[in-house]
């Protein structure tokens, strides 16, 4: 297991080394099936059921036969609300009552999260910072810190407690995701280019995720 880069709270690279628990960060998978399952379940469970179509009985119009049954040379038609007609009812369309949720048990979620964190560490995408503090909650101060550390793309900040100043400093940055340790998900980890873990959060991750050796 490789050691992550460590930064001081000012954003300078530190010569010190940080030891990460192997029970959490040394679980690089040989197969990504579990990661995919948990990732897809996360998206499915957050899906809004907005698509609704009308059956033929709900479409307006069509109260009478469009033409007589015989003698016109055209096919028989009873209503313009037929699903065969443009603007007619929809057969087997979404009703708004569909359930898209997928169940994944707690141990599987935690195992997948360990795998995701281990992959990030092995690829050099996970770093540790002594403390995440932004004086006065100024966005420009956090941007300076980010630039000093050299992070680009989507940045995930993992902290035990979200201070009001840090939240205010990162709120208007669309590519920065600030999250508490115990709210961390596989989706957050896999969608980040860089994961910055506050040093104090490591112990929390070990307590929360390190109970299994799978």
Whether the predicted pLDDT of 120 surpasses 70: yes
Among residues 135, 113, 117, 134, which one has the least CA distance to residue 126?
117
Q: What is 5-47+101-209's CATH superfamily?
A: Ribosomal protein L4/L1 (3.40.1370.10)
For residues 125 and 189, give the distance between their C-alpha atoms in angstroms, rounded to a whole number.
10
Q: How confident is the model at residue 212 (pLDDT cuts 50, 70, 90)?
A: low
- Report pLDDT digits (tens) over 5-64: 999 999 999 988 899 999 999 999 999 999 999 999 999 999 999 999 999 999 998 888
Residues 96-117 have pLDDT tens digits of: 999 999 999 999 999 999 999 9
Domain ranges for the chain, please list them: 5-47+101-209, 50-99
What's the confidence (pLDDT) of residue 63? Answer: 85
Q: Tell me the backbone φ, ψ of residue 199, rounded to 5 degrees.
A: -55, -40
| Rounded average pLDDT over 120-132 | 95
Give the CA-trace dihedral at 75, 77, 82, 85, to 10 degrees: 50
In tens, the pLDDT along 146-174 reads: 999 999 899 999 999 999 999 999 999 99
Three-class SS of the chain: CCCCEEECCCCCECCCCCCCCHHHHCCCCCCCHHHHHHHHHHHHHCCCCCCCCCCCCCCCCCCCCCCCCCCCCCCCCCCCCCCCCCCCCCCCCCCCCCCCCCCCCHHHHHHHHHHHHHHHHHCCCEEEECCCCCHHHCHHHHHHHHHHHCCCCCEEEEECCCCHHHHHHHCCCCCEEEEEHHHCCHHHHHCCCEEEEEHHHHHHHHHHHCCCCC
Per-residue pLDDT at 72: 95
Q: What is the distance between the alpha carbons of residues 99 and 164, in angstroms, rounded to a whole number? A: 37
């Amino acid at each position: 297991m490789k050691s992550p880069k460590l930064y001081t709270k000012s954003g300078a690279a530190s010569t010190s080394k940080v030891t990460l628990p192997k029970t959490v960060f040394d679980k690089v998978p040989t197969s990504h099936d579990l990661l995919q399952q948990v990732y897809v379940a996360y998206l499915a469970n957050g899906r809004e059921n907005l698509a609704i179509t009308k059956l033929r009985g709900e479409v307006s119009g069509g109260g009478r036969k469009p033409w007589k049954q015989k003698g016109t040379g055209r096919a028989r038609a009873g209503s313009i609300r037929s699903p065969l007609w443009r603007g007619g009812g929809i057969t087997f369309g979404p009703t708004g009552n569909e359930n898209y949720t997928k169940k994944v048990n707690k141990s599987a979620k935690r195992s997948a999260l360990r795998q995701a964190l281990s992959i990030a560490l092995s690829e050099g995408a996970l770093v540790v910072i002594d403390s995440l503090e932004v004086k006065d909650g100024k966005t420009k101060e956090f941007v300076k810190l980010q630039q000093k550390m050299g992070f680009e793309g989507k940045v995930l900040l993992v902290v035990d407690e979200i201070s009001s100043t840090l939240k205010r400093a990162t709120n208007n940055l669309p590519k920065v995701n600030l999250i508490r340790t115990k709210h961390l998900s596989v989706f957050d980890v896999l969608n980040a280019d860089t994961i910055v873990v506050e040093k104090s959060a490591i112990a929390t991750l070990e307590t929360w995720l390190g109970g299994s050796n799978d």
